Structure 1
């Protein structure tokens, strides 16, 4: 008998494989292609596990049962990165991203002992889970891991919507149709996830399997929709990023300012008046000298110059100190630090080592005789 659930889940498996192939020929960097491939691969693994479960033969493929959970735990952060790639706001993976995958490591540690259990014990746990019961230790662990995975995906989707809330307006949707598609897909998936998660807690136990089926369908829906968007709109990343930047600028405090004039005045203050040498220099004072507000100055530094106030000022202080360290070898490091605008020798050392990976004294010894 034809089962629409199984058909949709099987379609999700096929599309995951197509997504892997499509990502291989995309124009993203090697790192981005790897992350997208991992996302589609892990989703495919989860869908295969669900397909076997809903087909009723999971007790015949014991190796597949729950071994997908560590990979499923990585879907949330990978999906979040994928959405940022579409938006064009993704930066190379660093510690702030690596930490997001720590739950997957923890789940791996929890699942390994289950994998090593005898088949008879696994079958007993599987039968209990299929009935929506959680009395055995590993049935409780697996049940809660499943709930955590769904909540995690929901939270990442919500966080993405919050970060890109500037795009949630009619003007943006009219200018770029794909943005409305993207948000409708995410909102629908979040609704299905929240409804199914609530169902696991508040409805009768028979709803447990059905809720997993609806979640599996939502995953297939997400994969299918995003795959079609990225294939139909091959330049999605560029277009959506351009739209995001445009919306941010429309809502920006800089919209009515003469940015060229600000840049010219800032250059005069830095290059000619060397205002960075004032050790009491603050953002308030600099914004007053430029004739703009503090928030406008902060936004200008962050969005236009891609820096922060103290990083910007310290950059010029360090450049000035480099000349003095080499040309005035008889002067102490402290006197040079105070002259270029630092309040103490320790803050100078910290800023200097941030750029040169060495202390001012080592720098002076290394470059003085060259």
Structure 2
């Protein structure tokens, strides 16, 4: 809970800190409810005894969002926002259902373990923890290159990442098993283990901050490499060169990352990563390089060429975009370049 408050009070208003605050709050509520369960503490109205269930549905999406903004360095997409719908929906529905069917919340959480009964609330909670494992597995799969033995031996950031993944995944798995086997001792062990894990991580962050700073680069490198996994980059480079140099696909005004990637039979994110990792550029700069080279060829060949006409013939869809791209590459505007060409 303190981490949640600290995240909200920090001067940085980044998405990462907001997500971390959300996760800290949700985890704190899970701990409190396990304590209430073990102590037999209950509240009125009765739906308050089960509010940890909607919040459990935020943990997996929150972890994935934190990974997305810190490692993939991407903004929230509409698709990623949909991950939060179950948690938001249940948070809204619980008080409404209580007003209509108050008896739906009469079962106590401890009944699942002591009486062997199963309510719809228990199924929702097990579903939440199971879905969280799916999100954690997705993160592991996308960063699996970090866990190769050679990398683990030389990269302390990768080793710490493995510790975090094993710790959070194991705690969630034990929680699922506790409910599957109706074992309250496993439930207690899971909570105790998570507390020890969190405290150990906190102390390590204080005394070994330089190791924690290595996690980001390690994960980013692993993520980027995994995006190009299975792709013959040499063949891709040859096919891309053929499309640009021979077929001159860059002359299409509406050429986009999606269109070009479909021509190469790869995903847009793979083409973007190829251009970034192999070519050291991005899609816009890459295409504009060819378009400006085409414009230079026309300007040198045709005396008195119309600037706007050259822009459209080179693949640009506006004169302003053409002037900006031309000057950034050639160092002078198209008109100045044309003037120099005439003088020479």
- Relative to the length of structure 1, the TM-score reads 0.58
* Corresponding position of 2:161: 182
Secondary structure in 2 aligned to 1:93? coil
Deviation at 1:33, TM superposition (A): 1.6
Deviation at 1:312, TM superposition (A): 5.3
Secondary structure in 1 aligned to 2:50? coil
- Where do residues 191-270 of structure 1 align in structure 2 (5 Å cutoff)? 191-198=170-177, 200-201=179-180, 203=181, 205=182, 207=183, 209-234=184-209, 238-244=213-219
* Corresponding position of 1:39: 23
* Corresponding position of 2:250: 276
* Corresponding position of 1:52: 36
Deviation at 1:326, TM superposition (A): 8.7
* Corresponding position of 1:77: 61
Deviation at 1:74, TM superposition (A): 0.8
- Relative to the length of structure 2, the TM-score reads 0.62
Is 1:301–2:275 an aligned residue pair?
A: yes
Alpha-carbon separation, structure 1, partners of 2:34 and 2:202: 20
Verify the 8 A CA contact 1:178 1:229 in the aligned structure 2.
no
* Corresponding position of 2:91: 108
Deviation at 1:127, TM superposition (A): 6.2
Note the residue ranges of structure 1 that are not aligned, 5 or more in a row: 1-15, 288-295, 329-335, 343-347, 353-370
Note the residue ranges of structure 2 that are not aligned, 5 or more in a row: 265-269, 296-304, 322-344
* Corresponding position of 1:10: none
Deviation at 1:124, TM superposition (A): 4.5
Verify the 8 A CA contact 1:186 1:222 in the aligned structure 2.
no
Alpha-carbon separation, structure 2, partners of 1:173 and 1:27: 34
Deviation at 1:69, TM superposition (A): 2.1
Alpha-carbon separation, structure 1, partners of 2:66 and 2:197: 12
Structure 1 window deviating more from structure 2 (167-176 vs 66-75): it is 167-176
Alpha-carbon separation, structure 1, partners of 2:252 and 2:204: 53
Deviation at 1:274, TM superposition (A): 6.9
Secondary structure in 1 aligned to 2:214? helix
* Corresponding position of 1:171: 150
Going from structure 1 to structure 2, the CA distance change for 1:308 and 1:114 (only over 3 Å counts) comes to same
Alpha-carbon separation, structure 2, partners of 1:190 and 1:152: 12
Alpha-carbon separation, structure 1, partners of 2:137 and 2:33: 26
Going from structure 1 to structure 2, the CA distance change for 1:166 and 1:143 (only over 3 Å counts) comes to same
Alpha-carbon separation, structure 2, partners of 1:320 and 1:132: 78
Going from structure 1 to structure 2, the CA distance change for 1:126 and 1:75 (only over 3 Å counts) comes to closer
The RMSD of aligned alpha carbons is 4.9
* Corresponding position of 1:95: 78
Is 1:67–2:51 an aligned residue pair?
A: yes
Alpha-carbon separation, structure 2, partners of 1:115 and 1:238: 46
Verify the 8 A CA contact 1:77 1:101 in the aligned structure 2.
yes
Alpha-carbon separation, structure 1, partners of 2:292 and 2:86: 41
Alpha-carbon separation, structure 1, partners of 2:93 and 2:112: 17
Verify the 8 A CA contact 1:47 1:216 in the aligned structure 2.
yes
Alpha-carbon separation, structure 2, partners of 1:233 and 1:64: 40
Alpha-carbon separation, structure 2, partners of 1:199 and 1:40: 22
